[in-house]
Chain A
Amino acid sequence: METAPAARRRMTVSWESVPRLARGVKLRLDETRGRWVLLVPERVMAPDDIAVELLQLCDGGKSVTAMVDLLAAKYTAPPERIGADIIEMLQDLADSGFLIDGSKQP
Protein backbone atom coordinates (compact mmCIF):
# COMPACT_ATOMS: atom_id res chain seq x y z
CA MET A 1 0.00 0.00 0.00
CA GLU A 2 3.02 2.27 0.09
CA THR A 3 3.63 2.09 -3.64
CA ALA A 4 1.62 4.50 -5.69
CA PRO A 5 0.50 3.62 -9.20
CA ALA A 6 2.69 4.81 -12.02
CA ALA A 7 0.18 7.07 -13.74
CA ARG A 8 1.46 10.25 -12.20
CA ARG A 9 4.91 10.69 -10.78
CA ARG A 10 6.76 13.89 -10.10
CA MET A 11 9.52 14.47 -12.57
CA THR A 12 13.21 14.79 -12.03
CA VAL A 13 14.21 17.79 -14.09
CA SER A 14 17.09 17.29 -16.51
CA TRP A 15 18.28 19.09 -19.65
CA GLU A 16 16.14 16.72 -21.70
CA SER A 17 12.90 17.20 -19.72
CA VAL A 18 9.98 18.87 -21.48
CA PRO A 19 8.07 20.47 -18.62
CA ARG A 20 4.46 21.47 -18.81
CA LEU A 21 1.87 22.50 -16.25
CA ALA A 22 0.36 19.55 -14.39
CA ARG A 23 -3.32 18.84 -14.78
CA GLY A 24 -5.39 21.16 -12.64
CA VAL A 25 -2.70 23.85 -12.66
CA LYS A 26 -3.48 27.06 -14.50
CA LEU A 27 -1.33 30.15 -14.96
CA ARG A 28 -3.27 33.31 -15.62
CA LEU A 29 -3.07 37.05 -15.30
CA ASP A 30 -5.10 38.36 -12.38
CA GLU A 31 -6.14 41.68 -13.87
CA THR A 32 -7.86 42.90 -10.73
CA ARG A 33 -4.68 42.66 -8.71
CA GLY A 34 -2.26 43.24 -11.57
CA ARG A 35 -0.14 40.10 -11.27
CA TRP A 36 0.21 36.56 -12.48
CA VAL A 37 -1.28 33.78 -10.39
CA LEU A 38 -0.99 30.03 -10.42
CA LEU A 39 -4.33 28.39 -9.76
CA VAL A 40 -4.23 24.91 -8.26
CA PRO A 41 -6.85 22.83 -6.46
CA GLU A 42 -7.98 24.72 -3.35
CA ARG A 43 -5.19 27.29 -3.56
CA VAL A 44 -4.06 30.38 -5.41
CA MET A 45 -0.31 30.91 -5.59
CA ALA A 46 1.70 34.00 -6.47
CA PRO A 47 4.80 33.05 -8.48
CA ASP A 48 7.57 35.63 -8.49
CA ASP A 49 8.64 37.26 -11.78
CA ILE A 50 11.27 34.68 -12.60
CA ALA A 51 8.93 31.79 -11.84
CA VAL A 52 6.26 33.37 -14.07
CA GLU A 53 8.74 33.61 -16.92
CA LEU A 54 9.74 29.99 -16.49
CA LEU A 55 6.16 28.76 -16.15
CA GLN A 56 5.20 30.56 -19.35
CA LEU A 57 7.91 28.58 -21.16
CA CYS A 58 6.61 25.27 -19.75
CA ASP A 59 4.29 24.59 -22.66
CA GLY A 60 5.11 20.94 -23.15
CA GLY A 61 6.92 21.75 -26.39
CA LYS A 62 10.31 22.99 -25.19
CA SER A 63 13.08 21.03 -23.58
CA VAL A 64 14.91 22.50 -20.62
CA THR A 65 17.89 22.97 -22.95
CA ALA A 66 15.75 25.08 -25.28
CA MET A 67 14.34 27.08 -22.36
CA VAL A 68 17.82 27.82 -21.03
CA ASP A 69 18.98 28.91 -24.50
CA LEU A 70 16.02 31.27 -24.83
CA LEU A 71 16.63 32.85 -21.45
CA ALA A 72 20.38 33.01 -22.00
CA ALA A 73 19.79 34.92 -25.22
CA LYS A 74 17.22 37.21 -23.63
CA TYR A 75 19.42 38.13 -20.69
CA THR A 76 22.75 37.78 -22.52
CA ALA A 77 24.00 35.32 -19.95
CA PRO A 78 26.04 32.19 -20.64
CA PRO A 79 23.71 29.13 -20.67
CA GLU A 80 26.12 27.08 -18.60
CA ARG A 81 25.98 29.71 -15.88
CA ILE A 82 22.19 30.05 -15.58
CA GLY A 83 21.36 26.44 -16.46
CA ALA A 84 21.91 24.97 -13.02
CA ASP A 85 19.80 27.67 -11.36
CA ILE A 86 16.98 27.17 -13.83
CA ILE A 87 16.97 23.42 -13.34
CA GLU A 88 16.87 23.94 -9.60
CA MET A 89 13.92 26.30 -9.86
CA LEU A 90 12.07 23.96 -12.21
CA GLN A 91 12.71 21.11 -9.80
CA ASP A 92 11.21 23.23 -6.99
CA LEU A 93 8.11 23.84 -9.10
CA ALA A 94 7.91 20.16 -10.01
CA ASP A 95 8.31 19.11 -6.38
CA SER A 96 5.38 21.36 -5.53
CA GLY A 97 3.33 19.40 -8.05
CA PHE A 98 2.96 22.22 -10.59
CA LEU A 99 4.96 20.63 -13.42
CA ILE A 100 5.05 17.28 -15.15
CA ASP A 101 7.29 15.99 -17.89
CA GLY A 102 5.46 16.60 -21.15
CA SER A 103 7.79 14.29 -23.08
CA LYS A 104 6.39 11.33 -21.14
CA GLN A 105 2.74 12.16 -21.73
CA PRO A 106 0.67 10.27 -24.28
Chain B
Amino acid sequence: MSPTADLNSSLLPHADPLDGVAVLEGPSGSVAARYGIPLAVLLELTHRCPLQCPYCSNPIEMERASNELSTDEWKRVLDELAEIGVLQVHFSGGEPTARKDIVELVRHASELDLYTNLITSAVLLTRNKLEALADAGLAHIQISFQGSEAGLADRVGGFRNGHAKKLEVARWARELDLPLTVNAVMHRQNLDQLESIIAMAVDMDADRIEIANVQYYGWALKNRAALMPTLDQLERATDIVERARVRLKGILDIDFVIPDYYADRPKKCMGGWGRQFFNITPSGKVLPCHAAETITDLDFLSVRSNHSIAWIWHNSEAFNRYRGTGWMPEPCQSCAFKEIDFGGCRCQAFALTGRADNTDPACALSPLHQSLFNMARDEAENGNKRFIYRNFSGGTLEAEPSENA
Protein backbone atom coordinates (compact mmCIF):
# COMPACT_ATOMS: atom_id res chain seq x y z
CA MET B 1 0.00 0.00 0.00
CA SER B 2 1.41 3.36 -0.96
CA PRO B 3 0.84 6.28 1.38
CA THR B 4 0.58 8.63 -1.55
CA ALA B 5 -1.44 8.59 -4.72
CA ASP B 6 -0.41 10.27 -7.93
CA LEU B 7 -3.01 12.92 -8.59
CA ASN B 8 -2.10 13.24 -12.22
CA SER B 9 -3.52 9.83 -12.88
CA SER B 10 -7.25 9.38 -13.08
CA LEU B 11 -7.54 8.96 -9.30
CA LEU B 12 -8.54 12.56 -8.94
CA PRO B 13 -12.28 12.53 -8.22
CA HIS B 14 -13.06 16.01 -9.47
CA ALA B 15 -11.09 15.52 -12.69
CA ASP B 16 -12.65 12.19 -13.40
CA PRO B 17 -16.30 13.02 -13.93
CA LEU B 18 -19.04 10.90 -15.35
CA ASP B 19 -18.45 11.83 -18.91
CA GLY B 20 -20.53 9.32 -20.78
CA VAL B 21 -22.48 10.23 -23.86
CA ALA B 22 -25.69 11.22 -22.17
CA VAL B 23 -23.99 13.55 -19.75
CA LEU B 24 -21.96 15.48 -22.25
CA GLU B 25 -24.86 16.06 -24.55
CA GLY B 26 -26.48 18.27 -21.98
CA PRO B 27 -25.96 22.04 -21.90
CA SER B 28 -22.21 22.56 -21.90
CA GLY B 29 -22.14 24.97 -18.97
CA SER B 30 -23.36 22.73 -16.19
CA VAL B 31 -21.79 19.58 -17.55
CA ALA B 32 -18.38 21.03 -18.28
CA ALA B 33 -18.29 22.43 -14.77
CA ARG B 34 -17.65 18.86 -13.66
CA TYR B 35 -14.17 19.15 -15.10
CA GLY B 36 -12.04 20.46 -12.30
CA ILE B 37 -9.33 23.00 -12.91
CA PRO B 38 -6.04 21.23 -13.76
CA LEU B 39 -3.39 20.93 -11.08
CA ALA B 40 -0.60 22.02 -13.39
CA VAL B 41 -0.48 24.48 -16.26
CA LEU B 42 2.10 25.04 -18.99
CA LEU B 43 2.94 28.67 -19.65
CA GLU B 44 4.64 29.33 -22.97
CA LEU B 45 6.08 32.73 -22.18
CA THR B 46 7.61 33.30 -25.60
CA HIS B 47 8.30 31.55 -28.87
CA ARG B 48 11.72 33.20 -29.12
CA CYS B 49 14.57 30.73 -28.69
CA PRO B 50 18.24 30.67 -29.67
CA LEU B 51 17.98 26.97 -30.49
CA GLN B 52 16.41 25.72 -33.72
CA CYS B 53 15.51 22.12 -32.89
CA PRO B 54 13.74 20.52 -35.83
CA TYR B 55 11.13 18.86 -33.56
CA CYS B 56 10.13 21.97 -31.62
CA SER B 57 6.64 21.73 -30.16
CA ASN B 58 5.89 25.36 -31.03
CA PRO B 59 3.61 26.00 -33.99
CA ILE B 60 5.11 26.67 -37.43
CA GLU B 61 3.47 30.10 -37.25
CA MET B 62 5.21 31.44 -34.18
CA GLU B 63 4.13 34.40 -32.11
CA ARG B 64 6.25 37.54 -32.51
CA ALA B 65 7.66 39.30 -29.45
CA SER B 66 5.31 42.23 -29.99
CA ASN B 67 2.28 39.98 -29.40
CA GLU B 68 3.58 38.48 -26.15
CA LEU B 69 1.74 39.14 -22.92
CA SER B 70 3.34 41.89 -20.86
CA THR B 71 4.85 41.31 -17.43
CA ASP B 72 1.68 42.65 -15.80
CA GLU B 73 -0.52 40.46 -17.94
CA TRP B 74 1.46 37.33 -17.01
CA LYS B 75 1.28 38.33 -13.35
CA ARG B 76 -2.48 38.64 -13.60
CA VAL B 77 -2.56 35.21 -15.25
CA LEU B 78 -0.56 33.79 -12.33
CA ASP B 79 -2.89 35.47 -9.81
CA GLU B 80 -5.88 33.98 -11.54
CA LEU B 81 -4.34 30.49 -11.78
CA ALA B 82 -3.51 30.46 -8.07
CA GLU B 83 -6.99 31.74 -7.24
CA ILE B 84 -8.80 28.97 -9.13
CA GLY B 85 -6.66 26.21 -7.61
CA VAL B 86 -3.77 25.51 -9.97
CA LEU B 87 -0.82 24.22 -7.92
CA GLN B 88 2.07 23.97 -10.38
CA VAL B 89 3.21 26.17 -13.23
CA HIS B 90 5.73 25.18 -15.86
CA PHE B 91 7.47 28.16 -17.42
CA SER B 92 8.30 27.15 -20.95
CA GLY B 93 8.62 28.59 -24.42
CA GLY B 94 10.38 28.97 -26.79
CA GLU B 95 13.05 29.78 -24.35
CA PRO B 96 11.46 31.24 -21.19
CA THR B 97 14.70 32.93 -20.10
CA ALA B 98 14.59 34.99 -23.29
CA ARG B 99 12.02 37.03 -21.34
CA LYS B 100 13.76 39.74 -19.35
CA ASP B 101 11.13 39.38 -16.62
CA ILE B 102 11.62 35.67 -15.96
CA VAL B 103 12.97 36.17 -12.43
CA GLU B 104 10.13 38.55 -11.62
CA LEU B 105 7.54 36.07 -12.89
CA VAL B 106 9.07 33.17 -10.95
CA ARG B 107 9.09 35.28 -7.81
CA HIS B 108 5.48 36.31 -8.33
CA ALA B 109 4.43 32.69 -8.80
CA SER B 110 6.37 31.55 -5.73
CA GLU B 111 4.77 34.25 -3.62
CA LEU B 112 1.41 32.85 -4.68
CA ASP B 113 2.57 29.44 -3.40
CA LEU B 114 2.66 28.02 -6.91
CA TYR B 115 5.23 25.29 -7.47
CA THR B 116 7.45 26.68 -10.22
CA ASN B 117 9.27 24.67 -12.85
CA LEU B 118 11.53 26.13 -15.52
CA ILE B 119 11.73 24.21 -18.80
CA THR B 120 14.78 25.64 -20.50
CA SER B 121 17.49 25.12 -23.11
CA ALA B 122 19.79 26.77 -20.53
CA VAL B 123 22.02 28.44 -23.12
CA LEU B 124 21.03 31.99 -22.12
CA LEU B 125 21.57 31.46 -18.39
CA THR B 126 24.42 32.96 -16.42
CA ARG B 127 25.42 31.83 -12.94
CA ASN B 128 23.94 35.05 -11.54
CA LYS B 129 20.67 34.64 -13.38
CA LEU B 130 20.28 31.06 -12.17
CA GLU B 131 21.04 32.11 -8.61
CA ALA B 132 18.44 34.88 -8.87
CA LEU B 133 15.91 32.33 -10.10
CA ALA B 134 16.71 30.01 -7.21
CA ASP B 135 16.41 32.91 -4.77
CA ALA B 136 13.08 33.84 -6.35
CA GLY B 137 11.76 30.43 -5.30
CA LEU B 138 12.25 28.30 -8.38
CA ALA B 139 11.41 24.74 -7.30
CA HIS B 140 12.77 22.74 -10.19
CA ILE B 141 14.70 23.16 -13.42
CA GLN B 142 14.41 21.03 -16.51
CA ILE B 143 17.25 21.34 -19.02
CA SER B 144 16.99 19.99 -22.55
CA PHE B 145 19.82 17.99 -24.05
CA GLN B 146 19.97 17.10 -27.73
CA GLY B 147 22.56 14.33 -27.46
CA SER B 148 25.35 13.01 -25.26
CA GLU B 149 28.19 14.79 -27.06
CA ALA B 150 28.64 18.22 -28.58
CA GLY B 151 28.96 17.16 -32.20
CA LEU B 152 25.49 15.74 -32.61
CA ALA B 153 23.83 17.81 -29.87
CA ASP B 154 24.91 21.15 -31.34
CA ARG B 155 23.90 20.02 -34.82
CA VAL B 156 20.39 19.06 -33.67
CA GLY B 157 19.93 22.30 -31.75
CA GLY B 158 21.52 24.36 -34.51
CA PHE B 159 23.47 26.25 -31.86
CA ARG B 160 27.23 26.27 -31.55
CA ASN B 161 28.68 25.34 -28.13
CA GLY B 162 25.19 24.80 -26.76
CA HIS B 163 25.97 21.37 -25.31
CA ALA B 164 28.97 22.58 -23.30
CA LYS B 165 26.92 25.50 -21.99
CA LYS B 166 24.12 23.17 -20.87
CA LEU B 167 26.57 20.99 -18.95
CA GLU B 168 27.88 24.11 -17.22
CA VAL B 169 24.39 25.26 -16.22
CA ALA B 170 23.57 21.77 -14.94
CA ARG B 171 26.62 22.03 -12.66
CA TRP B 172 25.41 25.39 -11.36
CA ALA B 173 22.00 23.90 -10.71
CA ARG B 174 23.68 21.28 -8.53
CA GLU B 175 25.71 23.90 -6.68
CA LEU B 176 22.53 25.88 -6.01
CA ASP B 177 20.73 22.72 -4.87
CA LEU B 178 18.05 23.10 -7.54
CA PRO B 179 16.27 19.85 -8.39
CA LEU B 180 17.28 18.94 -11.92
CA THR B 181 15.56 17.03 -14.69
CA VAL B 182 17.31 16.19 -17.94
CA ASN B 183 14.94 16.42 -20.86
CA ALA B 184 16.08 14.31 -23.78
CA VAL B 185 14.00 14.31 -26.93
CA MET B 186 14.83 11.19 -28.90
CA HIS B 187 14.66 10.39 -32.62
CA ARG B 188 16.45 8.30 -35.22
CA GLN B 189 19.57 10.47 -35.26
CA ASN B 190 20.25 10.41 -31.51
CA LEU B 191 18.58 7.22 -30.23
CA ASP B 192 21.85 5.33 -30.49
CA GLN B 193 23.22 7.70 -27.81
CA LEU B 194 20.50 6.81 -25.31
CA GLU B 195 22.74 4.74 -23.06
CA SER B 196 25.31 7.53 -22.85
CA ILE B 197 22.63 10.20 -22.35
CA ILE B 198 21.37 8.28 -19.31
CA ALA B 199 24.96 7.99 -18.05
CA MET B 200 25.40 11.73 -18.61
CA ALA B 201 22.32 12.44 -16.47
CA VAL B 202 23.73 10.25 -13.69
CA ASP B 203 27.11 11.96 -13.93
CA MET B 204 25.56 15.40 -13.56
CA ASP B 205 23.59 14.10 -10.54
CA ALA B 206 20.21 14.85 -12.07
CA ASP B 207 17.15 13.75 -10.11
CA ARG B 208 15.14 12.75 -13.14
CA ILE B 209 15.41 12.19 -16.85
CA GLU B 210 12.58 12.47 -19.30
CA ILE B 211 13.27 10.38 -22.36
CA ALA B 212 10.64 11.52 -24.81
CA ASN B 213 10.45 10.20 -28.30
CA VAL B 214 9.44 12.88 -30.77
CA GLN B 215 5.72 13.32 -31.31
CA TYR B 216 4.95 14.33 -34.85
CA TYR B 217 3.17 17.68 -34.98
CA GLY B 218 4.22 21.03 -36.37
CA TRP B 219 7.97 21.20 -36.82
CA ALA B 220 8.46 17.53 -36.08
CA LEU B 221 5.91 16.60 -38.74
CA LYS B 222 7.83 18.73 -41.24
CA ASN B 223 10.97 16.83 -40.22
CA ARG B 224 9.43 13.41 -39.83
CA ALA B 225 11.57 11.69 -42.47
CA ALA B 226 14.74 12.90 -40.75
CA LEU B 227 13.53 11.96 -37.26
CA MET B 228 11.50 8.74 -37.48
CA PRO B 229 13.27 5.95 -35.59
CA THR B 230 13.52 2.40 -36.83
CA LEU B 231 11.56 -0.31 -35.09
CA ASP B 232 14.84 -1.91 -34.16
CA GLN B 233 16.07 1.30 -32.50
CA LEU B 234 12.88 1.52 -30.48
CA GLU B 235 13.14 -2.01 -29.25
CA ARG B 236 16.70 -1.41 -28.15
CA ALA B 237 15.74 1.88 -26.48
CA THR B 238 12.94 0.21 -24.54
CA ASP B 239 15.35 -2.45 -23.38
CA ILE B 240 17.95 0.15 -22.34
CA VAL B 241 15.33 2.06 -20.34
CA GLU B 242 14.04 -1.05 -18.61
CA ARG B 243 17.51 -2.08 -17.54
CA ALA B 244 18.42 1.45 -16.45
CA ARG B 245 15.28 1.70 -14.31
CA VAL B 246 16.37 -1.35 -12.34
CA ARG B 247 20.02 -0.34 -12.12
CA LEU B 248 19.32 3.29 -11.18
CA LYS B 249 16.41 2.79 -8.78
CA GLY B 250 16.72 5.40 -6.08
CA ILE B 251 19.35 7.31 -8.08
CA LEU B 252 17.64 8.56 -11.23
CA ASP B 253 13.92 8.57 -11.99
CA ILE B 254 13.24 7.77 -15.62
CA ASP B 255 10.17 8.87 -17.56
CA PHE B 256 9.89 7.26 -20.97
CA VAL B 257 7.51 8.42 -23.69
CA ILE B 258 7.30 6.01 -26.59
CA PRO B 259 6.34 7.11 -30.09
CA ASP B 260 2.94 5.96 -31.20
CA TYR B 261 3.38 5.38 -34.91
CA TYR B 262 4.58 1.86 -34.22
CA ALA B 263 2.09 1.13 -31.45
CA ASP B 264 -1.23 -0.70 -31.68
CA ARG B 265 -3.08 1.48 -29.24
CA PRO B 266 -3.05 5.28 -29.36
CA LYS B 267 -1.76 7.35 -26.47
CA LYS B 268 -4.17 8.93 -24.01
CA CYS B 269 -3.16 12.29 -25.35
CA MET B 270 -3.13 15.06 -22.72
CA GLY B 271 -5.00 12.62 -20.47
CA GLY B 272 -8.00 13.29 -22.69
CA TRP B 273 -8.96 16.58 -24.33
CA GLY B 274 -9.91 19.23 -21.78
CA ARG B 275 -9.72 16.83 -18.85
CA GLN B 276 -6.58 17.68 -16.90
CA PHE B 277 -4.37 20.02 -18.90
CA PHE B 278 -4.25 23.40 -20.53
CA ASN B 279 -1.49 25.70 -21.67
CA ILE B 280 -1.29 29.40 -22.34
CA THR B 281 0.51 30.67 -25.44
CA PRO B 282 2.82 33.72 -25.58
CA SER B 283 -0.10 35.89 -26.70
CA GLY B 284 -2.41 34.49 -24.02
CA LYS B 285 -4.49 31.92 -25.87
CA VAL B 286 -5.74 29.13 -23.63
CA LEU B 287 -5.29 25.76 -25.38
CA PRO B 288 -6.21 22.17 -24.47
CA CYS B 289 -2.81 21.07 -25.79
CA HIS B 290 0.25 22.94 -27.05
CA ALA B 291 -0.36 21.64 -30.58
CA ALA B 292 -4.09 22.40 -30.59
CA GLU B 293 -3.77 25.37 -32.93
CA THR B 294 -2.84 22.95 -35.69
CA ILE B 295 -6.55 22.06 -35.72
CA THR B 296 -7.48 24.96 -37.90
CA ASP B 297 -11.25 24.96 -37.48
CA LEU B 298 -11.19 25.64 -33.75
CA ASP B 299 -11.21 29.11 -32.20
CA PHE B 300 -9.25 29.53 -29.00
CA LEU B 301 -9.99 32.28 -26.53
CA SER B 302 -7.29 34.44 -24.97
CA VAL B 303 -6.76 35.71 -21.45
CA ARG B 304 -7.06 39.08 -23.17
CA SER B 305 -10.70 38.32 -23.95
CA ASN B 306 -13.35 39.36 -21.46
CA HIS B 307 -13.58 35.79 -20.16
CA SER B 308 -11.85 34.37 -17.11
CA ILE B 309 -9.50 31.42 -17.50
CA ALA B 310 -11.94 29.27 -15.52
CA TRP B 311 -14.76 30.27 -17.89
CA ILE B 312 -12.65 29.39 -20.92
CA TRP B 313 -11.79 26.01 -19.39
CA HIS B 314 -15.37 25.16 -18.50
CA ASN B 315 -17.39 26.78 -21.22
CA SER B 316 -15.46 27.58 -24.38
CA GLU B 317 -16.47 25.69 -27.49
CA ALA B 318 -12.89 24.59 -28.22
CA PHE B 319 -12.50 22.88 -24.84
CA ASN B 320 -15.91 21.22 -25.03
CA ARG B 321 -15.69 20.05 -28.62
CA TYR B 322 -13.73 16.86 -27.87
CA ARG B 323 -14.38 16.44 -24.17
CA GLY B 324 -15.49 13.06 -22.92
CA THR B 325 -16.74 10.53 -25.47
CA GLY B 326 -19.98 11.95 -26.84
CA TRP B 327 -18.33 13.48 -29.92
CA MET B 328 -16.80 10.22 -31.11
CA PRO B 329 -17.80 8.60 -34.38
CA GLU B 330 -17.18 4.90 -35.02
CA PRO B 331 -14.99 2.93 -34.52
CA CYS B 332 -14.26 4.89 -31.31
CA GLN B 333 -17.86 5.18 -30.13
CA SER B 334 -18.40 1.47 -29.58
CA CYS B 335 -14.80 0.77 -28.57
CA ALA B 336 -14.17 -0.79 -25.17
CA PHE B 337 -11.12 1.45 -24.76
CA LYS B 338 -12.83 4.76 -25.44
CA GLU B 339 -12.61 5.87 -21.81
CA ILE B 340 -9.05 4.64 -21.57
CA ASP B 341 -7.39 6.43 -24.47
CA PHE B 342 -10.20 8.81 -25.53
CA GLY B 343 -9.53 7.95 -29.15
CA GLY B 344 -5.90 9.07 -29.03
CA CYS B 345 -4.71 12.44 -30.23
CA ARG B 346 -7.00 14.95 -31.95
CA CYS B 347 -4.14 16.93 -33.47
CA GLN B 348 -2.65 13.80 -35.00
CA ALA B 349 -6.04 12.73 -36.34
CA PHE B 350 -6.43 16.16 -37.93
CA ALA B 351 -2.91 16.26 -39.34
CA LEU B 352 -3.07 12.81 -40.89
CA THR B 353 -6.75 12.46 -41.83
CA GLY B 354 -7.99 16.02 -42.16
CA ARG B 355 -10.62 15.51 -39.44
CA ALA B 356 -9.90 15.90 -35.75
CA ASP B 357 -12.75 13.58 -34.72
CA ASN B 358 -11.45 10.66 -36.73
CA THR B 359 -9.76 7.81 -34.92
CA ASP B 360 -6.10 8.63 -34.35
CA PRO B 361 -4.23 6.64 -37.04
CA ALA B 362 -1.90 5.43 -34.28
CA CYS B 363 -4.80 3.14 -33.30
CA ALA B 364 -4.91 -0.29 -34.92
CA LEU B 365 -8.65 0.25 -35.51
CA SER B 366 -8.01 3.21 -37.79
CA PRO B 367 -8.24 2.36 -41.50
CA LEU B 368 -5.01 4.34 -41.93
CA HIS B 369 -3.05 2.47 -39.28
CA GLN B 370 -1.23 0.02 -41.53
CA SER B 371 -0.24 2.67 -44.06
CA LEU B 372 1.05 4.87 -41.21
CA PHE B 373 3.14 1.98 -39.91
CA ASN B 374 4.53 1.27 -43.38
CA MET B 375 5.27 4.93 -43.98
CA ALA B 376 7.10 5.23 -40.65
CA ARG B 377 9.17 2.14 -41.43
CA ASP B 378 10.03 3.42 -44.92
CA GLU B 379 10.96 6.88 -43.68
CA ALA B 380 13.11 5.39 -40.95
CA GLU B 381 14.97 3.23 -43.50
CA ASN B 382 15.23 5.70 -46.37
CA GLY B 383 14.54 9.18 -45.01
CA ASN B 384 16.87 12.09 -45.62
CA LYS B 385 18.99 13.04 -42.62
CA ARG B 386 18.95 16.77 -43.23
CA PHE B 387 16.87 18.84 -40.83
CA ILE B 388 14.61 21.77 -41.48
CA TYR B 389 15.57 24.08 -38.64
CA ARG B 390 12.90 25.89 -36.70
CA ASN B 391 12.88 29.66 -37.08
CA PHE B 392 10.52 32.58 -37.56
CA SER B 393 10.78 32.42 -41.35
CA GLY B 394 9.14 29.04 -41.78
CA GLY B 395 12.26 26.90 -41.44
CA THR B 396 15.70 26.58 -43.05
CA LEU B 397 17.03 23.41 -44.61
CA GLU B 398 20.27 22.20 -43.09
CA ALA B 399 23.34 22.53 -45.31
CA GLU B 400 24.69 19.36 -46.90
CA PRO B 401 26.87 17.68 -44.28
CA SER B 402 30.56 18.19 -44.88
CA GLU B 403 31.29 15.08 -42.90
CA ASN B 404 29.28 12.10 -41.81
CA ALA B 405 27.47 12.93 -38.58
Chain A residues with CB under 8 Å of chain B are 1-2, 4-5, 7-10, 22-24, 26, 28, 30-33, 37-39, 41-48, 50-51, 54, 89, 92-93, 95-98
Q: Kindly supply a per-residue 1/0 record for chain B positions 176-196, scoring 1 wherever the CB is within 8 Å of any chain A CB and 0 otherwise.
A: 011101000000000000000
Are A46 and B11 in contact (CB-based, < 8 A)? yes
A67 to chain B, nearest CB (A): 15
**A42–B14 CA distance with the chains assembled, in angstroms:** 19
Asked whether B208 lies within 8 Å of A41 as measured between CB atoms, the reply is yes
* Given pairs A44-B7, A51-B4, 14 additional interface contacts (CB within 8 A): A1-B202, A2-B247, A4-B251, A10-B250, A10-B251, A22-B179, A23-B178, A24-B207, A32-B84, A37-B7, A42-B117, A42-B208, A45-B5, A97-B207
Residues of chain A within 8 A of B247, CB atoms compared = 2
Q: Say whether B129 faces chain A, with CB atoms less than 8 Å apart.
A: no
Q: Count B interface residues, CB 8 Å.
A: 42
User: For residue A43, which residues in chain B have a CB less than 8 angstroms away from its CB?
Assistant: 6-8
Query: Is B139 part of the binding interface, using a Cβ–Cβ cutoff of 8 Å?
Result: yes
B248, CB-defined interface residue at 8 Å:
yes
Tell me if A30 and B87 are in contact (CB < 8 A).
Answer: yes
Q: Using A33-B14, A41-B181 as known contacts, say yes or no to A48 and B248 having CB atoms under 8 A apart.
A: no
Q: Per a CB cutoff under 8 Å, which of B4, B37, B207 touches A45?
A: B4
A44 near B87 with CB under 8 A, answer yes
Give the contacts of B76-120 with A (CB-CB under 8 A).
84-85, 87-88, 113, 115, 117
Inter-chain contact B179/A44, CB cutoff 8 Å: no
Q: List 5 A-B contacts (CB under 8 A).
A: A4-B205, A7-B205, A23-B178, A44-B87, A96-B4
Number of A-B contacts (CB under 8 A): 105
B197 to chain A, nearest CB (A): 11
Nearest chain A CB to B138's CB is how many angstroms away? 10
- Smallest CB–CB gap between B82 and chain A, Å? 10
Residue pair B202, A44 in contact (C-beta under 8 Å): no
Check A5–B179 contact: CB distance below 8 A.
no
CB distance from A90 to the nearest CB of B (A): 10
Known: A5-B203, A7-B174, A23-B177. A46 touches B140 (CB 8 A): no
Residues of B within 8 A of A44 (CB): 6-8, 39-40, 87-88
Q: Cα distance A3–B207 when bound, in Å?
A: 14
User: Could you say which of A22, A41, A48, A95 contacts B117, with CB atoms under 8 Å apart?
Assistant: A41
